[in-house]
Structure 1
C-alpha cells in the first residue's frame, strides 16, 4: 500500500509543494530490507513521474498565458505615463490573434438589389455652390463626392417607388468665410429644413417613413449637430426633423455624444484621389523616407482662444513645446499647399485632434504610406471592417504625447516594417478615397455596402414584408 503525505513548506510559500512518501507493506508493515533496492528504484521512478507531471502542467499553463500576452505585446511595447511598466493598451493599438482570425466581410452580393433614389433638388441646394472650385476639393467635400458618384452608380434608380433609400443632396460646407476662408455653416439648418419641406410636400416618401430611409451628409466638425464649435453643437443638438434619418458624418466617437444620437455612419474626410496620384508619381523613386515624424498644421503656442476654450485640448501645443527643437520631428505651423510631398517622405505622421477628433491627415497618411499616429481619445474611425486600423496605425493617448519620442523609437525598432507592409495593401487605400465613378471597394462603395445592411429602415422593404 502506498501512503502519500503532501506537506507545504512553512518557510517560503512561493516554493510550491513537495511530496513525502513512505512505502508500506500491503498490511501496513514496513517492507523487508531484502527488497530495498527495488523499492528505492520504484520510489524514485514515481517521484520522477510526479515531477514531470507537475512541471508539464506548469509549462502548458504558462505558455497559454504567454501566448495571450504575445498577441498584444510581442510586436510592439510602448510606455505609458500612468504606469512605470511597459504596456500597450493606451499607447499602441496592435492586432490581436482573435482579430486576425476574424473573416473579412464580403458585401459584393449585398449591392446587387440595392436601389437608391437621388432627389433632383433646385441648384441653390447644391449645383450653385460648385461655382467655387474649392467646394468639390476641400476636406469637407465628401458631400459633393458622394452625390456625384451616386448619379452614375448602378444602384441609382429613377423610379422612387422601387427605391430602398433616398439621398438628399444638400451642400452645407461650401459657404466659405471671407475672413478666414474656412467653411461657414451657419446657414446649414435652414437650408436643410427647406430641402426637407420641399421633398415632403412634392413627394410622398418622406412622410411614409418619417425620413427613416432618407440619407444626408454632414461632413464637417461635429456632424449632425451642424456647428463647428462643440459646446454650441451640443447645446443646439441634432435638428429635430433629421432625428429619424441616416446621417453620413466624419464625426464619430466611441463614447455617448449628442451629435451622434441618430442613425449615423462614420465616413472619411475628402482627399482628392487625383492629388494623391500626382504626389505618388513625384515620390522618390527609391521610396526613401527621410522624415522620421511629421506634422504640419495649426499649433498654438498659447492654445486658449477668445472663446475661452483650448484648441486641440492643448495637445498640439504640448507637441510643439516638447519636440519643436527635436531633430527627429519635422513640425511646421504654416500652411503649404504641397504638403503631401512631405507626407510621402515621412515614416510617422502625427494626427492629433483639432476642434474635433477627426482629421484629413488620417486619410492622407494612409494613402501615402505614412504610419498615422492617432492622438484623439475615443475617436471612432471609418469603415472598420474594410480598414483594419489596428494593423496600419498607432494610437497614443492625449495625456501621453510627452512620450511620443520613446514610443515612436520603440516602434521603429520592432514592428515598423510589418505596419508599413500593411499600409501598402491597395484595398486599404481604396476604401478611404471617393471616386467618380464608383470603384468597387472605394469610400462610396463602403457607404453603399453599409446601407445594404440597414434595409430594415426601408419603407418599401417593410411594406413588401408585411404583405
Structure 2
C-alpha cells in the first residue's frame, strides 16, 4: 500500500516535470524563432503559428483562430474583391501594422474602411488626409457598367468612378491604365502608383511616425515616384489640424488700402508652408518694399483717381515685372487642358491660358525657381467634354479636377509644401467654383481666379480668390468694337436688353420695361443681343448701362459697358468686383442694391451732371486695364490678373 502511494507520487512528479520541460522547450523554440525571423515580420509569424487568419467575404470580415484554409502571408493582404492585392516585400517591412480587433464586435468591411479613412496618415505621394467631406462623396458606390464603353462615354452616360477606381483619371486618356477601364476590367496593383495605394482601405492602420526633421525636405527631382524604391521613412508624413477661420487684419493704413477685401462669410486663414523655400524670402522682401513704397502723385501711364493706392500698386507692379516667376504644369490632356477657347462668353479663361503659356517673361521651366504654379485647365472645355445636358450631374467634372490635382501632388513635391497655397487656376464658367468642391486643399488654399465671384458662397474666399472679368469676345480680335460716342451724343439715360436669367432681371423689367422713355429697359425679344448691331449701338448711345446679375452674380455687361465708355450700373448683391482691392470702383461706376430697383431712375437722376462727366471720363481711363491683346501690353487685363495673383499671394503668406 505504501509502495503504491509512493509510486503514484513519483509518477505525478515526473509528469509535472515532463510538462514543465515541454513548456520551457516550447518557449525557447518560440523565442528562438522570433529572434531568427526579421522583427518586422514577427507578428505575421506569431499569427501563422497560432493559425490566426483574416477572412474577407463580401461585406463581412471575421478573425478566426482555428486553422482556416486561407491564412495571411507575407506579401499578401486580402483585397475587397475576389483576388489578392500583392504588396512587394521592400514596401511591407517599412510599416508597423495593426490588424483591427474585430473578434469581440465584428463589423462590416465598409464600416472598417470608413473608420480607417478618417486617420490623418495616408500612404500616397501627396500624403494628404482623407477629409470627411471627400469620403462622404467618394464612398458612394457608382456602377461602371456598361463595361467596355470608352472613358469619356462612361462619364457622359452619368457613370462616376468609385474611390477605389480613381486612378483611371490620373493617367492620360488612352493610356494602358485608362484602357483597362475601357475594356471593362479593373486596374491591377502593378498599374497603380504605389503611393496612391492606401493600406487603411484594407483594415491596416499605419502607426509609423516620421520625425519632424524628415518633413523639412521635399521629395526632390528624379525619376517618377512610381519608379522609385521609396519607403515610408523617405516620404513626409503630414498631419493635419483644423484651424479656426479668421480675417487677418492689417494695421498699416497704406497696407489696408490695398489689402484683401473683407466681406462677411468669406474670410479665411492661409496655411504655413511645411518646409522653407528661397522663394518665400523673395516674396517677403517684395512685401516689405511694397509697404514702404515711395509716394506717387502723378504718373504718365496710370490715372491715380481710379486706384485705391497708386503708390503701392505701382511699386508692387514693378516688383512683379522684375521678380514674379510661374511654373506651368505640362500634365493634362487636351481638350480639357492646354487648349483655350478664345471666343464666347467664357473667353477670358482661354485668353489668359493662351497668353500665359506663350509668355517668356514670367514662365520658367525649372519649378524650383517658381513663386507660383499654374493649373492650366479650362472650365468651359471640362463642361463641354464631360457634362451630359439635362442630367444635372456635375460630380464627374469635380472628380476629374480632383484626380488631376491628386496626380500633381503625387508627382511633384510643390503642392504638398503649401497645401496648394502657391498654386492658382483661372476659370470663367459659372460652374467653376463647384468644380473645386471635392478637393479640400484646392477649395480652401488654392488661389482661384473666377468669373463667378460670389462672396455669399463659402467657396470664394475674398482676399485670397480673385474676380476674373467676364469678357464676351465675339471675334478673334478682342478689341475690335472698343470705343464709344462722346457724351453729347448719348441721349438715353439708361439701357438694358437681355434674357430673363435669374430673379433680378424679371424684377427690372417689371418696374421699367416700356414705363419711361428715358429708360430703355428691354427684354429678350430685342433684336441684336450679342451681335454687332443695335445692342452695341444702344450701349454707345446711353449714359448708364444697366448690368444686372443673371443666374449667377457675374455678367459680361460690366465689361461691355466699360468697352463702350458707358458708366456701368451694377445690380448684383454679393458680387466681388474685379480687382476691387486695387481699383476704386466708386470713381467710375454705380452699384445699386437689388432691393432698390424700383428707385433706379431716382438714383441715377440724383447724380449730378458734373459727377457723371467725371465718372464717364474715368471709365475711358480705366478701360485699358480690362482689355485683352494678342500680345500683352503693360497694365492690360493679362497683367492685371497676374498682378492680383502676385498681390494676394504676397499679402496672405504665413511663415
Give TM-score, length-normalised by structure 1.
0.63
Which residue of structure 1 aligns with residue 480 of structure 2? 278
Task: Describe the superposition over 1:54-81 as per-residue Cα deviations: whole angstroms up to 9, x where unpaired.
Answer: xxxxxxxxxxxxxxxxxxxxxxxxxxxx
Q: Which residue of 2 aligns with 1:266?
A: 467
Asked if the contact 2:430/2:552 (under 8 Å) is kept, the reply is yes
The offset of 1:350, in angstroms, is 0.5
Does 1:207 find its partner at 2:416?
yes
Q: How many angstroms apart in 2 are the aligned matches of 1:271 and 1:440?
A: 22
User: 1: distance between equivalents of 2:609 and 2:642?
Assistant: 40
Match of 1:257 among 428, 435, 457: 457
Residue matched to 1:126: 336
1:288 aligns with 2:496: no
Question: Is the 1:172–1:187 Cα contact (8 Å) retained in structure 2?
Answer: no
Q: 2:356 aligns with which of 146, 150, 162?
A: 150
CA offsets 1:120-144 (integer angstroms, 9 cap, x no match): 13333535865xxxx3212222222
- Cα contact 2:308–2:581 (8 A) shared by 1: no
Following superposition of structure 1 onto structure 2, how do residues 27-38 of structure 1 map, counting pairs within 5 Å? none
**Whole-Å separation in 2 of the counterparts to 1:458 and 1:409:** 41
CA contact (8 A) 2:491 2:542 kept: yes
Give the aligned CA root-mean-square deviation in angstroms.
3.5
Q: Does 1:343 align with 2:539?
A: yes
Q: Does 1:440 align with 2:642?
A: no
Correspondent of 2:643 among 445, 449, 457: 449
1:318 shift after superposition: 2.0
Aligned-partner Cα distance in 2 for 1:457–1:420: 32
Q: 1:290 to 1:276 in 2, by over 3 A?
A: farther
Do structure 1's residue 189 and structure 2's residue 401 form an aligned pair?
no
Question: Aligned partners of 1:400 and 1:449: how far apart in 2?
Answer: 34
Greater RCO, CA 8 A, separation 6+? 1
Q: 1:285 to 1:413 in 2, by over 3 A?
A: closer
User: Counterparts in 2 of 1:2-13, with a 5 A limit?
Assistant: none
Q: Where does the alignment leave 5 or more consecutive residues of structure 2 unmatched?
A: 1-304
Going from structure 1 to structure 2, the CA distance change for 1:185 and 1:330 (only over 3 Å counts) comes to farther
Q: C-alpha distance in 1, partners of 2:371/2:406? A: 21
1:136 to 339, 342, 345: 342
How do residues 286-365 of structure 1 correspond to structure 2 at under 5 angstroms?
288-299=489-500, 311-312=502-503, 315-325=504-514, 326-334=516-524, 335-338=529-532, 339-365=535-561
Alignment equivalent of 2:568, drawn from 348, 359, 372: 372
Compute the displacement of 1:159 (Å): 0.9
> 1:109/1:257 Cα in 2 relative to 1: closer, same or farther (>3 Å)?
same
Query: Partner of 1:279: helix, strand, or coil?
Result: coil
The structure-2 alpha-carbon separation of the partners of 1:125 and 1:170, relative to structure 1 and needing over 3 Å to count, comes to farther
Match of 1:381 in 2: 577
Deviation at residue 287 of structure 1 after TM alignment: 6.9
Q: Which residue of 2 aligns with 1:105?
A: 313
Q: What secondary structure does 2:373 align onto? A: strand
Q: Any idea what SS the aligned residue of 2:380 has?
A: coil
Distance (Å, rounded) in 1 between the aligned partners of 2:610 and 2:427: 39
- Structure 2 CA distance for partners of 1:458 and 1:147, relative to 1, 3 Å: farther
The reply on whether 1:221 has 2:221 as its aligned counterpart is no
Question: Secondary structure of the residue that 2:479 maps to in structure 1?
Answer: helix
Are the counterparts in 2 of residues 392 and 422 from structure 1 also a CA contact under 8 Å?
Answer: yes
Seen in structure 2, the aligned counterparts of structure 1 residues 391 and 210 have a Cα distance that, compared at 3 Å, is same
Distance 2:482 2:651 in 1: 41
Partner secondary structure for residue 560 of structure 2:
helix
Q: CA distance change for structure 1 residues 458 and 195 in 2, over 3 Å: closer, same or farther? A: farther
Using the TM superposition, give the Cα deviation of residue 433 of structure 1 relative to its aligned residue in structure 2, in angstroms: 2.7
Q: 1:446 to 1:423 in 2, by over 3 A?
A: same
Residues 251-274 of structure 1: CA deviation (Å, up to 9, x unaligned): 3345x5312148312221134396
- The 8 Å contact of residues 253 and 378 in structure 1, kept in 2 or not, is answered as yes
Match of 1:159 in 2: 366
Paired with 2:326 and 2:311, the residues of 1 have a C-alpha distance of 28
Asked if the contact 1:293–1:350 (Cα under 8 Å) also holds between the matched residues in 2, the reply is: yes
SS in 2 for 1:331: strand
Pairs within 5 Å for 1:161-180 = 161-174=368-381, 175-176=383-384
Q: Report 1:41-120 matches (<5 A).
A: 103=311, 105-106=313-314, 107-111=316-320, 112-120=322-330
Equivalent position SS for 1:211: coil
Asked whether the 8 Å contact 2:479–2:628 carries over to 1, the reply is no
Which whole-Å CA distance do the structure 1 matches of 2:419 and 2:450 have between them? 20
Q: In structure 2, do the counterparts of structure 1 residues 197 and 295 end up closer, same or farther at CA, with 3 Å as the change threshold?
A: same
Structure 1 residue 211 displacement after superposition: 1.7
Q: What secondary structure is seen at the aligned counterpart in 2 of 1:364?
A: helix
CA–CA distance in structure 1, aligned partners of residues 312 and 408 of structure 2 = 38
Q: Does residue 398 of the first structure (1) align with residue 398 of the second (2)?
A: no
Q: Distance in 1 between matches of 2:648 and 2:607?
A: 39
Aligned-partner SS, 1:268: coil
SS in 2 for 1:123: coil
Number of residue pairs aligned between Structure 1 and Structure 2: 335
Match of 2:620 in 1: 424
Structure 1 residues 454 and 321: alpha-carbon distance in aligned structure 2, compared to 1, 3 A threshold: closer
> In structure 2, how many angstroms separate the alpha carbons of the residues matched to 1:375 and 1:286?
23
